[in-house]
Amino acid sequence: MTEMRLVEQRVALMQPGKIHTPDALVDCEILLFSRKGARVRLLGDLHGATDLFLAIRDFGQLSCRLAQVDDDCIEVSFCGDAESQDAVFQDILDRFADEEGQRRFLRRSVLWPGHLVAGGQQHACTILNMSLGGAKIALCNEAALAGEAVLKGDRFEGLEATVAWVSGRMVGLEFNGPPARVGRILGDLLPTIKASA
């Protein structure tokens, strides 16, 4: 079986910032931001420095290393453990990114028939979009839903979920399993949000 990994989400930040080197302070523009690093347009010279701090206005400083140089742009990799990087990424999204960017996983639009089992009842639905983190569905008939549910489709076995929101016939679901397990269940159904390891 082919191993899968999540495609790293990058958001367009377009925020002014500064790169601190041991000897200088360089103005920059932060173009893209991810959990692991950033793409930055330099407005000055780093003079060969590789251990850096990226300062984002109204946010703070992030320890990073120079990973790649491309004309006036650089790629930096953040230092620190994955949990801390994830927390910083979520904080950045909350402060600067738009609603689409705040989604943790990339979504793919689909139009698949399905059923939502909740509260001991089965509700026919159309699955509108899916990601490794959740799904948006349209129920055939409005229903009062809350709590735990299972989303079933013709193309995949049941996915345990929690009802995140309801608006008329539209329902947002958050999958309960880890993303890797959801990826295994969905197999090759969502190739645009997975890539070979």
3-state secondary structure 94-128: HHHCCCCCCCCCCCEEEEEEEEEEECCEEEEEEEE
Please say if the pLDDT value at position 29 is more than 80.
yes
When pLDDT is averaged across residues 111-136 and rounded to a whole number, the result is 87
Tell which wins on pLDDT, 154 or 55: 55
Note the pLDDT of residue 33. 86
The CATH number of domain 108-196 is 2.40.10.220:
yes
Regarding pTM above 0.85, the answer is no
What is the tens place of the pLDDT at every residue in 68-94? 999 899 999 998 777 777 777 777 776
Domain with CATH 2.40.10.220 in the chain: 4-96, 108-196
First to last CA, the chain: 12
- In the chain, the percentage of residues whose pLDDT exceeds 70 is 82
The CATH number of domain 4-96 is 2.40.10.220:
yes
Note the pLDDT of residue 156. 81
